[in-house]
Amino acid sequence: MSETTLPQGRQKALDEFISNLDLLNTLADQNRQRLIILLGAHLNTGLTVTELTSHMSLSQPAVSHHLKILRQAGLVSTTHEGLNHRYHLTVNDALDQVGHLLNTIRNSNNSAQQTKE
């Protein structure tokens, strides 16, 4: 399949998708979505892996693996409480990235619509 040249606005939208692939792939997983929702319900206190595992049908190592991916994507941070780590939701930067992507797509579509008129 050969690639065609896209108008500048559409190319910018495609470039935004490509630059956000890691974040989008992170958000696409249902287990990580559930962890985000659980952590969102405990914004002030955060949750430990043990607490999160009790709400999931996953093993503790699997929950830890998903938390690592969320942390690498900037969606989760940790604080230390003795030997335990408390995980906290920190989605502001990710929301800004997704918002920027959506605005780029909207602008691309608006430009294409105006060109047709």
Q: Which domains does the chain have, with CATH numbers?
A: 14-116 (1.10.10.10)
Token pair, residue 19, equals: 């630059």
More confident residue, 35 or 81: 35
Per-residue pLDDT for 36 more than 90? yes
* Per-residue pLDDT, 25: 93
Whether the CB-CB separation of 40 and 33 falls below 8 Å is answered with no
So what's the pLDDT on residue 3?
64
13 contact partners, CB below 8 Å, separation of at least 6: 104, 105, 107, 108
The pLDDT confidence band at residue 77, using thresholds 50, 70 and 90, is very high
Per residue in 38-47, pLDDT (tens digit) is 999 999 999 9
Of the pLDDT bands very low, low, confident and very high (cuts 50, 70, 90), residue 1 is very low
Predicted structure pTM score:
0.77
Q: At CA 60, angle to CA 84 and CA 52, rounded to 5? A: 65
Q: Find tokens 């979505």 and name the residue.
A: 33
Lowest mean pLDDT among 20-24, 35-39, 57-61: 20-24
- Return mean pLDDT, the chain: 87
